[in-house]
Each structure stands twice: as structure tokens, then as C-alpha cells.
Structure 1
């Protein structure tokens, strides 16, 4: 995900540049969120409250990271509070902001960043982390930025890849698909030989994957310029991807079911679902549910929409934010920069089975053992690093991404079960998102 290249936070709303400089969206006229806020550096010992779902307090590797930082920074104590995923964390942060009782550092997924910036609850840390910029590639910093202002430090990233059962692809006589057209052909070949076996499952809950795949095909689900927001969920490039999956579902070439249920896990273990198009974190997830299949899997770059064009967006990953009302904002930003961007911190994140966004951690992966799911694929991290270099498609998430996900996922799942047009789901989601933006006071280009 990247954020809109020409938008910024003002009065809890995006105020668009130049053409809207005299207009505060929603009728307010306050200064930019994050500018000049936060506390001065503390004179005495500091305890930083850290909301995270990656660093588990009971995990020795996580505690070793905290211990290392505290050893290097006497007088600073990091207190971990384990919270839920992005939606839960974001709602908790908004409530904490209203109660003037915020933590000092918060981990959220990249797609949540714009809405939190819009709400004015996170600090602009551009100046605080300026010295760390050279330690992270620009396509990764873009995930943490709004209108060229930095609001977060990257923890991990999701280079998109294709994870598949190499042994069963060989058994069924299919090559690893390099294009989505070849993917569909492989799906047909596999299912024709065994009606109980599918190349993959179709899970409508993979909202971020469908958005990323549409971006790969040339769509932009959200974009912004001086005149307002444009929503492209139902543009032709996006509908092309809807048609692609409609065809596979209608021909029963993918299994319509959610991910990571006991049933799905059983099919992964039994070799009845043979691949997962996701990101470099997929092998870790698959190993957690099917460790006995280790050694039978391999990874490859994501299939392409246009043969010869390897460009992809990121899928997934998270960032460290500093709440606007943190009492120790400078110390929090310093810790976030160390953990996510320094060579030492980002390398230590590897111990948490994360794909770090910092260059130091990325470089360390090249010397790391392959994922446990595919211990013989020694080129895994070199391949993933090349994918990161090919990650040149920006993903802009709008301020109402939660509205889009709610409108999209359940409706798409029902359409897959009922055999009704996927295009209708994309079109209806577009209308819902546009209406919500307009009702929330955002300028919308129709």
C-alpha cells in the first residue's frame, strides 16, 4: 500500500492540495495533524507503552529485542501490550485518543494508515526519523507516508509471490504458471485429473489480495488529486480481474471456501489445495498448519497479467506509528526507527519470522536459511528480494477502506456461492465507497 501522493491531514480530514487550500474538509480549519505536537524529550526515565501483535510478551525472541534496546538506551523501558489486528487496534486507538490515554507506539497494517492520519490521531514523524531514511528503500517508505510526510516506520513487508506444491504440480504434469492465463490452464489440468483437487481456494475475505491483483492489472481502487478522490473499484482493469475469478469459480476450478479453517487446513495437508497466491509470508503460515508437508513446497514470482511485466504491489505488512498525544513522542519515534529501520533492529525482526522492511534485515535474509516449508529452496530470499525491486506499483488506500472491505467480502462470497455476477459486487462496492466518501465530506470525482 502507498498513500495518496497529493493528500494531507487537516482537521481530521484529507485537505487536498492547491485547489482546496482554502477549504477545510468537513468545515473545520485547524492545523495539520502531527505538526508540532507531542512532548519534549523527557529528562528522566521513560516507559514507552507499545501496542503490538507481532512482538508477543511471552516470546523469548521478542523479549530479547526489547532487552537489547533497553540495554543500549538506559532509562528507557518498553512495555508490550498485545492487541488484536488492524481493525481492533485502530478502533482502540481512536477510543484512547478521545480519552487522552494513548500508548506511545502502535503497530497497524499499512492500509489503516490513511484513516488514522485523517482522524488526526497519529504524529507526523518526518523530522524524527530523517536519519533513518537511507536505511529503507523508497517504495517501502511510501507505505508509511501521506503527501510525502512520514507517519510510520516499516516493520515488515509483503512481496507478492506464488507458493505451490512442487511435488503435486509435477505429478499432474503442470508447469509453474508465469501468467494468470497459464494459471487458469493449470487449474483446469489439475482438476480434470482429480475432481477433489484444486489449484487453490477462492476466499472472498482476501480483500487486500483482490485489490493488489487489480492494481497489477492496471486498476487504482483509490486515487486522489487536487480535485478530489477517484474510486476505481469498478474500472475496466478491475473488472477484468473479477471476470477472471468468475470464470474459475463457474467452472469449479477453484474451491470456494475461506482460508485457515479446519477444513481448509485439512485440504492443504492432504494435497487437495495446491497453491496460494499471496506474499512472502505465506510459507510461514502454511508451515504453521501443515508442518508435515515441509519439503514438498516451492515458491515462484506471482503470475503476471501481461507477459514479461513483473511489476507488482506489496500485499500486507505493518508499520509502527506514534500517536499524536503520546507523552514521549520523540523517544517513541527513536525506538520505532531503531526497530524498523536500523540494521540491528530490522535484523532482529527476522527472529520473529517476519520479512523486515529495513535494508539491514533484507540483506540478512540473503544469508538466512530458506523457510521451513521449503528447506531446499536456497534461492527463496534472493527471489523475494528481486520481487521487492519489482514492486513498483503503488497501492493507494482510501480513508474508508473499512467500508469497502465490508461491502466487498461478504457480497463476493455470496456471489461465488450463488453463481451471480462478480461484476455486480465490484460495481456495488464502488457505489458504496463513493457515497460514503461524499457523505463524509470528501470531494469525489465522479
Structure 2
């Protein structure tokens, strides 16, 4: 594992995030129930969308675990994305019909923990703590309590068309200032071509952008929450994107629509700032462009500061009312953190959070989108080391999502203020927290 010098800004952020999560962890420290005890065979119901029942690779993983743990059967139940899964889990908890293992995105965990439906599995996963890096465990840890086992991670990267960058004489951007210059140069060379699309509904991306610039959309101090969606650092990122949109240097449209897919295939959209999972998504919609792409670290807000947050990824949690909580935690730890399990996750085209799976990527072939980029996983591994900015998610992410995405899209299309959208979202999030009984102290 590489080591890096500790910069003051990183240290402040890490300390702040740790304090921000302690309040939630302490408030819920006594919530975990006693583990179930079973004398006979156990069937674990696993809600997931990564391990699809019809996928032979997923079945092979399940069968391997069942072979090593006689008497345990894993029942895969395919569910929708995080919003649908979270609402189903809350309903199942109320009905005392909770599953045993549930996959959710990291951003959903705080709201489920504060709702009291997630088990503290700190002791269960203690033997596996050294098998996952601290900055990855942090994604599913609140205070000192672990509430989930990391499945996959999203080291942030910029994936771009190497051939068309060369055609337009554009260097890969190292900073966001470079990114703006590249957007201007490309669009000036061909008005039908854009560096990227502006997809306003990607709330998680904009929160990560704000964090990279020094803001935190949620945080806690003691038992009080703070909300920084309209903080100065956050609004600076709003100004940055509004400038690019107003100058018609980005095309305003959502990702992965038929129109977006066609433009990617036709070389009209040349990059995507996302994470290491982006190449597989692009390949799924534009396989004929394989060999023409590369991925590099995300552009920097401050030149020389490579600090970034993770973007996306999921965790395995054990519901509070699981009837087989001890066995469920053991399975989750095996799948996400053991050497064997984290390596097997690679067969699902995931970027595993476990050290063994992460190390195994270094000997993997690069993604099919860029077979020529032999150092893809080395670049991604370095980015993981540089991922030192924690993004703190609050208990009402859904409120921010609903208030932000559509309004920002309307502002982008209508030429109205992005800052107003951030401010309106701030007001809605604060009001919801106060209505729910939380103490809110704004920065």
C-alpha cells in the first residue's frame, strides 16, 4: 500500500468527517439486537441487484459459499436500485419480515441507520478489518460502529476519447480550469461536438464536486446537523458549471438516453467525469468505440491536490430484524472483505472494496473499452490512495435529490440561476431535518 504525506486540508476534512459521524453512531450504539441462534439449516434472504439470479457468475459465488458453509443456503432476491430497496426495507422492518442481507448504495446508509433498521456489525466483522482499507471502511462506518461491509467502490476518474482529443489538439485536463479550456476548444472546432454532457440529476456527482472543492453538504457537531449545500465552496462549483452551460460548452441532457448513447457512438460527446465503473457503462452502449478511450484521474480544483471522494458503490448491511443476523454478517463479511469473496466480485464486473480484490485488479486485463490502456488499474489504484475526502450523507438525501435534480435541469435549460437551486435545496433539506426533530446548525 502506498503512503502519502498528510496535508492540512485533508487532515481537517478527515477529522471533521469523523466528528460528523460520531453523533449518529453514539445515538444508535444501543440499537443492535442479539444475534439469532440456529441449530439447523439456515436460509439467508439476500436483496441485491449486483448478484442477479440468472447470472452464472453470481450463482458460482453463491454456490462457493454454500459449499464452504454446509447448512447455509443463499436465496437471491433481485430488487431495484437504492430508493426502491430502502423503501422496501423500511416496510419489511415494520412488518417484521426483514431479509438477512441487503445491498444499498453508501449514500442510503445514514438514513437507514437513523431509522433503526440496520444492525451494528462491528464485532462480527472485526476479524476482517485489516482486509479493507480504512478509507473504504469509512463508507459504511458511523462513528466507531460498522453498519455495512463494502462491496464495490468508485474511484473518481475522467474517461475520454483519446483519438478525438488528438484530432482537436486538446490535452487531457489536469485541472477543472483545463477542463473548461478543453470544452471551449473542442466546441469551437466543431459546434456539433461537446466535451461532455451536463446531467443535472446526478446529485451524487455534484455533492462529490462540492466536497472536492472543500464543502460538505451534510455534517454533524455533537447532536446537531449542519447543512452546507449553499456554502461558499459549494456555490463556487455551481458558478463553474453554470458558466460552461451558459457558454454552450456542454450539452444539457441526461446520461444513458438513446440520444446520449447515439452522440457517444458518433463522437459528439467526448468524455465522462465519473468513476472507474464508467468504462463498462460506456462499453455497454458504444462497444464499437472500444480502443479509442482512456481514463485518467479526475481534474483537480487546486493544482497539485489530488484529493477526491469516492463516487458511487454499495455496501452489504444486515437488517436489525434479520432472523439469522450472525450468519448474515458472516456471509456479508466473506463476500465483501475476505480474500476469496472480494476476488470473486471481479467476475461481476465490479471494482471490489476488499484489499485482495483490489490487488487482483492489478493483474487484470484493462476494461474492454480501453484494451490498450495497460495501466488502467494502476491509475485507479493510485486514485484510491488519493481518495481522502469523505462525503458525509445526511438522513434525508432523498429530499435533496427531489429538490435539486429537476430544478437544476430547468435552470440549465432556462438560463436561470444555479445558485438559486442550491439555495432552495438547502432550505428544503434544513426544513425537513427540523420537521423530523433534528437540531440544525448551519455553517
Q: Which TM-score band (shorter chain)? A: over 0.9
Residue in 1 that maps onto 2:230: 234
Partner SS for 1:424: helix
| Inter-CA distance 391–130: structure 2 relative to 1 (3 Å threshold) | same
Residue in 2 that maps onto 1:265: 261
Residue in 1 that maps onto 2:10: none
8 Å Cα contact 2:21-2:219 kept in structure 1:
no
Match of 2:183 among 182, 187, 202: 187
Partner SS for 2:291: coil
Q: Aligned partners of 1:7, 1:375: CA distance in 2, in Å?
A: 41
Match of 2:89 among 81, 88, 93: 93
Residue in 2 that maps onto 1:122: 118
Provide Cα deviations, 1:23-81, integer angstroms capped at 9, x if missing partner: x8xxxxxx74543x143331110000000000000000000000000000000000000
For residues 35-434 of structure 1, the aligned pairs below 5 Å read 35=32, 37-434=33-430
Q: Aligned partners of 2:58, 2:229: CA distance in 1, in Å?
A: 39
Q: Aligned partners of 1:215, 1:208: CA distance in 2, in Å?
A: 11
Q: Aligned partners of 1:148, 1:332: CA distance in 2, in Å?
A: 21
Q: Aligned partners of 1:163, 1:65: CA distance in 2, in Å?
A: 30
Residue in 2 that maps onto 1:20: none
Q: Count matched residues.
A: 429
Residue 16 (structure 1) shift: 8.3
Q: Aligned partners of 1:95, 1:262: CA distance in 2, in Å?
A: 35
8 Å Cα contact 1:33-1:117 kept in structure 2:
no
Partner SS for 1:316: coil
Residue in 1 that maps onto 2:18: 5
Q: Aligned partners of 1:282, 1:61: CA distance in 2, in Å?
A: 21
Residue in 1 that maps onto 2:5: none
8 Å Cα contact 1:7-1:16 kept in structure 2:
no
Residue 125 (structure 1) shift: 0.2
Provide Cα deviations, 1:117-138, integer angstroms capped at 9, x if missing partner: 0000010000001000000000
TM-score between both structures, scaled by the size of structure 2? 0.95
8 Å Cα contact 2:20-2:392 kept in structure 1:
no
8 Å Cα contact 2:45-2:75 kept in structure 1:
yes
Residue 353 (structure 1) shift: 0.2
Provide Cα deviations, 1:77-109, integer angstroms capped at 9, x if missing partner: 000000000000000000000000010000000
Provide Cα deviations, 1:308-342, integer angstroms capped at 9, x if missing partner: 00000000000000000000000000000000000
Residue in 2 that maps onto 1:27: none
8 Å Cα contact 1:6-1:16 kept in structure 2:
no
Q: Aligned partners of 1:83, 1:263: CA distance in 2, in Å?
A: 27
Q: Aligned partners of 1:15, 1:156: CA distance in 2, in Å?
A: 23
The runs of 5 or more residues in structure 2 that have no matched partner are 1-12
| Inter-CA distance 265–8: structure 2 relative to 1 (3 Å threshold) | closer
